[in-house]
């Protein structure tokens, strides 16, 4: 059965799925899988959500194949959930209403590098590490780094960013054009390769961040950047969290063009010390990276040392040497593992608010208070230049119900706090399942406009239903 009268999606019936599978098997043979293990694997992401398996997983290898799948699903009004690497963070892949998971991970060709134009066109299953490996000899690189080795299609779909958005922007700023299969099987290209354009509505940006709910991305054209001549790194700890944030505000206003500005709180630093046998001060700490010329990165680091000094930063250590740089940043890279190590076997409810930077310290401190009041341990890592931070709330299988209750409450209070500060419930992970209930508070009447868009692009509500928007009132 398709959508009922209220607009809510309910699972297609067994008969519908049986017929759909016959059609798909004719086209895709053994690239249609109904094995439970495969289906479960494709329903899981990096979050703590239950993974409800789709009725089948189909491996697609071309735009035409995606079109065929979408047309078959549209005919039977069966949900379609696109899958890249399974590294999203808000339960985006769980098949809440059954249907077909379209795995595009084998659509992983780099189609065209235009070195002079500093752009590249890739299939959606190309991962960011694969892309940078491919680009190595060109002197160019793709900077967006969300941590996980995510697919470019998935990163576009969630409007991902990560550690160096402060310098290079997010997927919003770095996707030049997309090829998209619409919910009725039509294929469009959203823009041309020109660096800028005033030619019509910005379709590219409608699909960037649409989480598979408006169409399926089958090609992505990205901006590239020259690999910097020199890179230097620095670490500095602060007496107060406010001091660390103020130093960053000041440095941005001074125009110090930092590539990464990562904040780790005292709890996170303690966790890393324990995990990796290090002895960093258990204080709010900034990890910094500078890109530029040899003289430029030296100048940036020296200026930043001065600025940090003014705000109570101490032990500012920096290096331009590649090996020492890696050593200096190793602690930052260990952050995720060190959290899991706090309660082995746990998964993470990573909060994701983003606020105007003037309110960031206040927002983090109030959240730390909530965490302390709840009697739990939850390290905090922030992309502080953007005002975005993650409290790593730990969910353990043995205490899942209680953890979800306690952490969910902290997250709820955090999101309401961020929205009251003119911030957003999600800076880079997306809405998925977890943030739907906060959209009205954040966007007001604009949510109705989002619904209107969803209905225009996907009148049958088959594109990743149950994510992003609650259609039934």
- Return the residues of window 190-249 that contact its own copies according to CB under 8 A: 190-203, 205-206, 208-210, 214, 225-226, 228-229, 249
Q: Is residue 450 near its own copies by the rule CB under 8 A?
A: yes
Least separation in angstroms between CB 85 and its own copies: 17
Total of chain residues touching its own copies, rule CB under 8 A: 98
Touching its own copies, residues 68-107 (CB under 8 A): none
Q: Is residue 262 near its own copies by the rule CB under 8 A?
A: no
Q: Bridge-partner residues for 317, per DSSP?
A: 235
Q: Which stretch binds its own copies (CB under 8 A): 48-56, 261-269, 293-301, 333-341?
A: 293-301
Q: What is residue 286's three-state secondary structure?
A: strand
Least separation in angstroms between CB 175 and its own copies: 11
Q: Which stretch binds its own copies (CB under 8 A): 9-17, 336-344, 401-409, 452-460?
A: 452-460
* Nearer residue to its own copies within complex by CB, 40 or 299: 299
Q: Which stretch binds its own copies (CB under 8 A): 9-17, 77-85, 272-280, 381-389?
A: 381-389
Nearest residue to 60 (alpha-carbon basis) of 75, 78, 72: 72
Q: Is residue 431 near its own copies by the rule CB under 8 A?
A: yes
Nearest residue to 458 (alpha-carbon basis) of 54, 218, 186: 186
Touching its own copies, residues 158-187 (CB under 8 A): 158-161, 165, 169-170, 172-173, 182, 186-187
Among 61, 189, 282, 396, interactor with its own copies by CB under 8 A: 189
Least separation in angstroms between CB 413 and its own copies: 18
Q: Is residue 444 near its own copies by the rule CB under 8 A?
A: yes
> CB within 8 A of 89, min separation 6: which ones?
45, 46, 47, 350, 352, 429, 430, 432
* Nearer residue to its own copies within complex by CB, 24 or 462: 462
Q: Bridge-partner residues for 220, per DSSP?
A: 122, 178
Q: Is residue 366 near its own copies by the rule CB under 8 A?
A: no
Q: Is residue 56 near its own copies by the rule CB under 8 A?
A: no
Q: Is residue 468 near its own copies by the rule CB under 8 A?
A: yes
| Long-range own/partner contacts, residues 413-418 (CB < 8 A, 24 or more apart) | 413/367, 413/370, 414/351, 414/353, 414/363, 414/367, 414/370, 415/351, 415/353, 416/441, 417/353, 417/363, 417/366, 417/367, 418/353, 418/354, 418/355, 418/363
Q: Is residue 427 near its own copies by the rule CB under 8 A?
A: yes
Q: Is 77 left (phi over 0), alpha (psi -120 to 50) or beta?
A: left
Among 30, 116, 137, 373, interactor with its own copies by CB under 8 A: 116
Touching its own copies, residues 391-420 (CB under 8 A): 418-419
Touching its own copies, residues 124-143 (CB under 8 A): 139-140
Q: How many residues does the chain have?
A: 473
Q: Is residue 473 near its own copies by the rule CB under 8 A?
A: no
Distance CA 7, CA 258 (A): 47
Q: Is residue 255 near its own copies by the rule CB under 8 A?
A: yes
Least separation in angstroms between CB 395 and its own copies: 21
Residue pointed to by tokens 């479960």: 40
Nearest residue to 411 (alpha-carbon basis) of 337, 353, 369, 347: 353
Distance CA 47, CA 42 (A): 13
Least separation in angstroms between CB 124 and its own copies: 17
Among 65, 119, 289, 403, interactor with its own copies by CB under 8 A: 119
Helix 63-76 / helix 14-28 crossing angle, nearest 10 deg = 160
Residues 129/143, Cβ–Cβ less than 8 Å: no
């Amino acid at each position: 059965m398709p959508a009922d009268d209220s607009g809510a999606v309910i699972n297609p019936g067994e008969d519908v799925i049986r017929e759909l599978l016959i059609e798909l098997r004719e086209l895709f043979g053994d690239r249609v899988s109904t094995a439970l293990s495969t289906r479960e694997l494709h329903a899981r992401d990096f979050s703590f959500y239950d993974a409800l398996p789709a009725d089948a997983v189909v491996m697609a290898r071309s735009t035409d194949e995606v079109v065929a799948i979408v047309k078959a699903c549209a005919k039977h009004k069966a949900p379609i959930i696109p899958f890249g690497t399974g590294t999203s963070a808000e339960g985006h892949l769980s098949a809440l209403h059954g249907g077909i998971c379209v795995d595009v991970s084998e659509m992983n060709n780099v189609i065209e590098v235009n070195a002079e134009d500093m752009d590249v066109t890739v299939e959606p299953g190309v991962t960011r590490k694969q892309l940078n490996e491919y680009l190595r000899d060109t002197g160019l690189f793709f900077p967006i780094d969300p941590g996980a080795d995510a697919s470019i299609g998935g990163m576009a779909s969630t409007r991902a960013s990560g550690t160096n958005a402060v310098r290079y922007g997010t997927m919003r700023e770095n996707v030049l054009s997309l090829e998209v299969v619409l919910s009725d099987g039509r294929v469009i290209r959203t823009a041309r390769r020109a660096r800028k354009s005033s030619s019509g509505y910005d379709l590219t940006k409608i699909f960037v961040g649409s989480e598979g709910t408006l169409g399926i991305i089958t090609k992505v054209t990205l901006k590239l950047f020259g690999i910097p001549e020199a890179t230097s790194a620095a670490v500095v700890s602060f007496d107060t969290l406010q001091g660390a944030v103020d130093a960053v505000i000041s440095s941005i206003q001074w125009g110090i063009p930092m590539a990464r500005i990562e904040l780790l709180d005292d709890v996170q630093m303690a966790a890393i010390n324990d995990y990796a046998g290090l002895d960093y001060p258990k204080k709010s700490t900034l990890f910094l990276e500078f890109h530029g010329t040899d003289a430029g990165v030296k100048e940036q680091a020296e200026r930043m040392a001065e600025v940090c000094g003014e705000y109570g930063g101490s032990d500012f250590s920096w290096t331009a040497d590649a090996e020492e740089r890696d050593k200096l940043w190793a602690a930052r890279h260990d952050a995720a593992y060190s959290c899991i190590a706090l309660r082995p076997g746990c998964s993470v409810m990573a909060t994701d608010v983003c606020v105007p930077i003037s309110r960031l310290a206040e927002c983090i401190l109030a959240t730390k208070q909530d965490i302390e009041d709840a009697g739990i341990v939850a390290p905090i890592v922030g992309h502080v230049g953007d005002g975005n931070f993650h409290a790593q709330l730990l969910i353990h299988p043995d205490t899942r119900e209680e953890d979800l209750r306690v952490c969910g409450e902290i997250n709820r209070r955090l999101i309401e706090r961020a929205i009251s500060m003119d911030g957003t419930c999600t800076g880079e992970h997306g809405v998925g399942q977890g943030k739907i209930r906060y959209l009205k508070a954040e966007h007001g009447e604009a949510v109705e406009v989002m619904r209107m868009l969803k209905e225009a692009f996907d009148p049958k509500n088959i594109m990743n239903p149950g994510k992003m928007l609650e259609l039934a009132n």
